[in-house]
Amino acid sequence: MSDPVTIVTFDWVPDMPRGFVRDLRVRWLLEEIGRPYTVETVPLRGKVADHFRQQPFGQVPFVRVGGLTLFESGAILLHLAKGTPLLPEGDAGAQTLQWVIAALNSVEPWVTNWMIARLFRNDPVLIEAAMPTMTLRLTQLQDVLADREWLVPQGFTVADLLMADVLRIPDRDDQLAPYPGLAAYKARALARPAFAKAYADQMAHWQKAGP
Ligand SMILES: N[C@@H](CCC(=O)N[C@@H](CS)C(=O)NCC(=O)O)C(=O)O
Residue 161 CA, chain-centre distance (Å), reads: 7
Cβ neighbors of 205 (< 8 A, separation 6 or more) are: 9, 39
Which atom of ligand 1 lies nearest, measured to the CA of 21?
10
Which residue CA neighbors atom 11 of ligand 1 most closely?
A: 59
Q: How far apart are alpha carbons 202 and 135 in whole angstroms?
A: 29
Give per-residue pLDDT as tens, 117-167.
Answer: 999 999 999 999 999 999 999 999 999 999 999 999 999 999 999 999 999
Same domain, 96 and 172: yes
Structural domain contains residue 38: yes
Domain count, the chain: 2
Could you identify the atom of ligand 1 that is nearest to the CA of residue 76? 20
Confidence band of 75 (pLDDT split at 50, 70, 90): very high
Q: Are residues 97 and 182 in the same domain?
A: yes
- Evaluate the omega torsion of the peptide bond into residue 43 and state whether it is cis, within 30 degrees of 0: no
Range of the domain at 128: 90-192
211 within domain boundaries: no
- Do 106 and 73 lie in one domain? The reply is no
Which H or E run contains 31?
helix 23-33
- Residue 39 pLDDT exceeds 70: yes
